Amino acid sequence: MRRRSFLIVAACTVGVANLPARARAQTKPTVTVFAAASLREAFEAAGPAFTKASGFPVSFDFGGSDTLATQILQGAPADVFASANTAQMQRVTAMVRVPKTLARNRLVVIAPAGDPVVASVADLGKSGTKVVLAAASVPVGAYARTAFGTLERDPAYGSGFAARVAANVVSEETDVKAVVTKVALGEADAGVVYTTDVTPAVASKLRVLRFPAGAAPEAVYPIAVVSAAPNPAGAAAFVDFITSPAGLGYLKARGFEE
């Protein structure tokens, strides 16, 4: 009995010790990319092409940019950070190299396809409308709140519009994809997401309403190599690839702008 458990422990130890060595022998080290949740579809599509071009396997960690920034500040072993706004990139300024602008995105209001409550952006402030936003620390949550503040200056919406919308918020989600899911499930009457989040997978469940011209801020995505990247060569290769015409093609195909 004792002998057998010793063997199991020994086998586990040998197995674990062997793993990285074997991985190293076969391929280059993996690049770990922390990216805003809204970049999921574009980055996942670009991943295999990047690996093919550079030889670096890539693994993605998608989440709210605020969560990812906090994790980097706490020493998470990220090689690259792509944020959905400059504010979250600025939080990690001391820990990343100079960021490049990756892409731009637009805000839209989404509503469940069969839910008639919200017919226009103004209806977000109508009493009884159930609105789901990302938390204010999440970039899309911050952009949405800025947009409501801008709309207040338009007499059609009126002063107090932002406060009326805020009073209608029933949940503050942790990233933009959670907002999409809650609206697609019909749990809320409307939410604010990026135009790129209305993917073919959910498009049939959603109606899309556009903000009036000039009301919504343009979302800007900075991308940077993390200074303490465990894989600096892979990190630089990923940033070079994704900001090249070939890499940007994957973003544009999903509605991002240069």
Interface contacts to another protein, rule CB under 8 A: 64, 66-67, 69-70, 73, 91, 130, 132, 135-137, 169-174, 182, 185-188
User: At its nearest, how many Å lie between another protein and the CB of residue 171?
Assistant: 3
User: At its nearest, how many Å lie between another protein and the CB of residue 187?
Assistant: 5
Indicate the residue among 40 and 91 with the shorter CB distance to another protein.
91
Indicate the residue among 69 and 103 with the shorter CB distance to another protein.
69
Indicate the residue among 37 and 251 with the shorter CB distance to another protein.
37
User: At its nearest, how many Å lie between another protein and the CB of residue 239?
Assistant: 24
Distance, in Å, from the CA atom of 119 to the CA atom of 20, rounded to the nearest integer, reads 55
User: At its nearest, how many Å lie between another protein and the CB of residue 19?
Assistant: 23
String of DSSP letters for 2-46: HHHHHHHHHHHHHHHHHHHHHHHHHSPPPEEEEEEGGGHHHHHHH
Distance, in Å, from the CA atom of 194 to the CA atom of 176, rounded to the nearest integer, reads 8
Measured CA distances, 213 to 44, 105, 160 (Å)? 31, 14, 20
User: At its nearest, how many Å lie between another protein and the CB of residue 164?
Assistant: 16
Indicate the residue among 125 and 139 with the shorter CB distance to another protein.
139
User: At its nearest, how many Å lie between another protein and the CB of residue 165?
Assistant: 14
3-class DSSP string for 45-86: HHHHHHHHHHCCCEEEEEECHHHHHHHHHCCCCCCEEECCCH
From the list 85, 87, 24, the residue with the least C-alpha distance to 56 is 24
Indicate the residue among 90 and 199 with the shorter CB distance to another protein.
90
Which tokens in the block code for residue 162?
Answer: 């932002």
Indicate the residue among 134 and 251 with the shorter CB distance to another protein.
134
What strand order describes the sheet that includes 206-210?
169-173, 131-134, 190-194, 107-112, 206-210
